[in-house]
Chain A
Amino acid sequence: DQQVKQNSPSLSVQEGRISILNCDYTNSMFDYFLWYKKYPAEGPTFLISISSIKDKNEDGRFTVFLNKSAKHLSLHIVPSQPGDSAVYFCAAIPWAGSYQLTFGKGTKLSVIP
């Protein structure tokens, strides 16, 4: 049973436009959410996170929105750049002090120049 779902395996966006990557979760105990970015042949790297007590967190071109009632979060990248082309993983952690990240299957973003 998948607790973190990324229903779009891939997304193509024109350079300069907005990229929106979506993530849904089923476990209401999740307390903290993270986005990781992964290039081919490399390990994932942390991108941005949000606590369940917030509904928005912004870091430069990257903004994560959390809708707890809908159990949905999204990552917005504005403006998108070719270097943003990667696989993006949504991840969640169930409670403070837990070490177990639960990952979604990832969305492959392609930014077309």
Chain B
Amino acid sequence: NAGVTQTPKFQVLKTGQSMTLQCAQDMNHNSMYWYRQDPGMGLRLIYYSASEGTTDKGEVPNGYNVSRLNKREFSLRLESAAPSQTSVYFCASSGSLSSYEQYFGPGTRLTVT
């Protein structure tokens, strides 16, 4: 049981480049989330997917798109990276409506120059 996995672990982009962060969970969870964490800040929700086939905006969605590819996978896309998107990105999942606990992946450290 790997839990929540994220790829890549590290990435450096130039301003204007695009990339997709991948996330997969093997816990048969219904809900998945993308967060970003900046220095001295808590985690902020970018997008979430309550269940397969649905996605919704979180607190800081601008500049990002998401795809819930299937129940296991939830990807985050930066279409045109900006230095303000330099951050650590965490994917998480949770089981059901009655489960508030979210399980996090190890994170992707992204630097945009």
Q: A residues bordering B, Cβ < 8 Å? A: 4, 6, 9, 32, 34, 36, 41-46, 49, 89, 91, 93, 96-97, 99-101, 103-106
Contacts and interface: CB of A to CB of B under 8 A. Distances in A.
Contacts of A9: 40
Given A99-B33, A99-B50, A100-B58, A44 B101 contact: no
Contacts of A44: 43, 90, 104
A43 B106 contact: yes
B101 A46 contact: yes
B104 A43 contact: yes
B105 A93 contact: no
Contacts, number: 53
Interface of B: 4, 31, 33, 40-45, 48, 50, 58, 90, 92, 94, 97, 100-107
B42 A43 contact: no
Nearest to B101: A46
Contacts of B41: 105
Contact of A34 (B4, B48, B100): B100
Given A43-B105, A100-B45, A103-B42, 5 more contacts: A9-B40, A42-B106, A42-B107, A46-B102, A100-B58
Contacts of B104: 36, 43-45
A99 B31 CA distance: 8
Give 10 nearest A-B pairs by CB, closest first. Answer: A43-B104, A103-B42, A103-B43, A105-B42, A46-B101, A44-B104, A97-B97, A43-B106, A32-B100, A104-B42
8 contacts: A42-B107, A43-B106, A44-B43, A46-B101, A93-B100, A99-B33, A101-B45, A101-B100
